[in-house]
Amino acid sequence: MTMGESGEMYLETLLILSKKQDKVISNDLAVNMGFSRPSVCRAVKLLKQDKYIDVDPDGHLTLTHSGREIAEKIYERHLVISRFFESIGVSPDTASEDACRIEHVISDESFNKLKEHLK
């Protein structure tokens, strides 16, 4: 799986879920993301093949080092972009939805300037 928006979303969701609960399984991703179980199983298989996640014998998912790096980068972008939009008066729900789309395409340069601006 080339790491595109879809892969980033799976990793970010796994990171968020793993902060809330001890064990995360594929079904947790399916429910949280609103995707079918077969779609999630396919994505998990590809993410595992590409060494972004590990799956233990009980089906528990964990991020590898490289998977965690990507997930944390995307999650930080989400938080910062959401905070920026809320600071200019955008509702929290809209800010989060817009951040979810922008976090995957914003350049490092623009993101770093946005972070600096918010400090």
What is the arithmetic mean of pLDDT over 76-86?
A: 96
Please tell me whether residues 33 and 59 are part of one structural domain: yes
Please tell me whether residues 21 and 36 are part of one structural domain: yes
Residue 28 falls in which region: left (phi positive, over 0), alpha (psi -120 to 50) or beta: alpha
- The count of structural domains within the chain is 2
Please tell me whether residues 34 and 56 are part of one structural domain: yes
Share of the chain above pLDDT 70, in %: 97
What is the arithmetic mean of pLDDT over 103-113?
A: 94
Asked whether 55 and 80 are in contact (CB, 8 A), the reply is: no
Asked whether 40 and 47 are in contact (CB, 8 A), the reply is: no
Please tell me whether residues 77 and 29 are part of one structural domain: no
Residue 63 falls in which region: left (phi positive, over 0), alpha (psi -120 to 50) or beta: beta
User: With 70 as the cut, is the pLDDT of residue 2 above it?
Assistant: no
Mean pLDDT of the chain: 94
- Please give the pLDDT value at position 1: 39
Cα distance between the two ends of the chain: 36
Please tell me whether residues 74 and 60 are part of one structural domain: no
